[in-house]
Amino acid sequence: MADTLAHKKFGMVALLLEAVFIVLFGVFGKYHDEADAAVWGNATGQLKKSEINAVNSIVQNYPMFQDVHGMMFIGFGFLMTFLKWYGFSSVGLNMMIAALVIQWSMIINGFFHLKHGKFYIEVQSMLSADFACATVLISFGALLGRISALQCLALAMIEIPIFVANEYVGLNKFRAVDMGGSMFVHIFGAYFGIAASRTMAKKADGDNCNDGSRYHNDLFAMIGTIFLWLYWPSFNAGLAVGDDKHRAVINTYLSLAACTLVAFAVSSLFEKGKLEMVHIQNATLAGGVAVGTVSDMMIKPYGAVIIGSLAGVLSVFGYAFLAKRLRANNFLDTCGVNNLHGMPGILAAVFGILYSGLASFDEYGYGLYQIFPARAPKMANGSFTFTLKDGEQAIADGEGRTAGMQAAYQAAAASMTLLCAIMGGLLTGFVLRLPFLDNVPTADFFLDNPVWNVPEDYDGKQHRPKRREGSRASGDAGAASALIATGDGKQRDEAEEGV
């Protein structure tokens, strides 16, 4: 009986969570007026001006939402398929986590923005839900291959309230600017996951023969890279408006291009003239992270190129050198999220502080108050009205901040985010170690067959020690599964042979 219940535990918990979501959406969820048939249009059947603007907003925002949605399910999912015997879990658990977080984050975020006892759902809230997905999926990347499906549910349920609370304070209390989520999404997700991983890690966990890649796995992972690379401008620009949106697309586009070329170059320099696939799969994306915070700011095209170039160098350096030192100290980071999301996110925060401190009315005009609302003059009635370039009237709840004050708040928000991520991750790691959450035995790390029905050609081996130095996180994946030529020209997987 106990064994039967153990096998059904995950399914029962997942169904219970969905039942709770149904109740919460039923009690508190409501369509935004733009999607509510009862309030759309007027007695004559003609759309009001505000409703015409709403239609235009949906037409404008949905394509970018769809881009970001593809990043969550295809980009992140396939980027994690590099592990040679963990492909089902990489894509499958990614999909499950995203589906859970979409609902849970809408509910938690809604509770922070209740109006008349309800939270309202629209395309923008769907975009915000996908940003929350990215946060948890980044954390999942640090733990990839070492947590069960039930632990994935627990990870998402614990992380999202902390993430939403941190973001709410950063955006609404500190009034920091982070258009592409480099601070509130990337820094938070990376160091939350690494902290949780460090808490869960046992001394021998870093040595596993299955923690490595194969040729075809790396090809599948490149599918994820390409999807993320192509659609990252939509991620950074999705929540922007007007000329800010246009500028965010341009800045991200240029930063990614520069980052990619530099990542190829630096990989070749570090690898003695050869290219390392782990660098290309991950470091080429770091430009999107590093430019995220300032993507809508007036950083100039050359500024975007500089930021992308620095991100490429920093990320490749992380994979090639820093990750080995962290692994030696039992900081296990399967996907190397520190190198793709953590350090480039910190770089983005630094540039956010710099460019916030340099922003001036002479350069931005009234657009300054659209990007930095707290810098608008403080008015007796609490609102400052100004006219944008397209003639639209806008209102900012100004505090009269100086450029230096805004920069200080940017630094405070970044520091708070890093602290919340680490403390929240450490706490979550302790929770995930609880026995009833189906801890994965070390022998089953990085394997699909303990939890999936696998085809006959699946050949995953149980854990053996003496994994060759390096994994995806250490930037030496080639050594982990080095293919060497035999005398008859055939190839064999050195790691699989236990060499």
pLDDT in tens, 413-422: 999 999 999 9
| Weakest-pLDDT range from 101-110, 132-141, 373-382, 460-469 | 460-469
∠ CA 297-303-307 to the nearest 5 degrees? 100
Beta-strand pair 393-396/119-121: unpaired
CB-count burial class (<10 Å; 0-12, 13-18, 19+) for 66: middle
Is the per-residue pLDDT at 79 higher than 80?
Answer: yes
* Model pLDDT for residues 456-472, shown as the tens digit of each residue: 888 876 655 444 334 55
Is the per-residue pLDDT at 482 higher than 60?
Answer: no
Amino acid, single-letter form, for residue 207:
D
Cross-strand bridge partners of residue 394 = 386
Confidence of residue 1 (pLDDT cuts 50, 70, 90): low
Alpha-carbon Rg of the chain, whole angstroms?
23
- The H or E element spanning position 485 is strand 483-485
pTM above 0.75, yes or no: yes
Confidence of residue 388 (pLDDT cuts 50, 70, 90): low
How many helical (H) and strand (E) elements, i.e. helices and strands, does the chain have? 19, 6
Which tokens go with 299?
Answer: 């950083």
Is the per-residue pLDDT at 224 higher than 80?
Answer: yes
Beta-sheet strands, E only, within 85-205: 119-121
| Weakest-pLDDT range from 50-59, 116-125, 387-396, 489-498 | 489-498
Confidence of residue 89 (pLDDT cuts 50, 70, 90): very high
Domains observed in the chain? 11-37+57-358+402-444 (1.10.3430.10)
Q: What mean pLDDT do residues 426-432 have?
A: 97
Return mean pLDDT, the chain.
87
Closest CA to 137 of 167, 96, 109: 96
- The H or E element spanning position 297 is none
Q: Residue 232's pLDDT is what? A: 98
Q: What mean pLDDT do residues 93-115 have?
A: 94
Is the per-residue pLDDT at 25 higher than 50?
Answer: yes
Closest CA to 491 of 482, 440, 367: 482
Q: Cα(497)–Cα(202) distance, rounded to whole angstroms?
A: 25
DSSP string, 399-418: ----HHHHHHHHHHHHHHHH
Is the per-residue pLDDT at 199 higher than 70?
Answer: yes
| Weakest-pLDDT range from 38-47, 275-284, 378-387 | 38-47
Is the per-residue pLDDT at 495 higher than 80?
Answer: no
Q: Which residue has the higher pLDDT, 225 or 487?
A: 225
Cross-strand bridge partners of residue 384 = 396
Percent pLDDT > 70 in the chain is: 85
Q: What mean pLDDT do residues 3-31 have?
A: 90
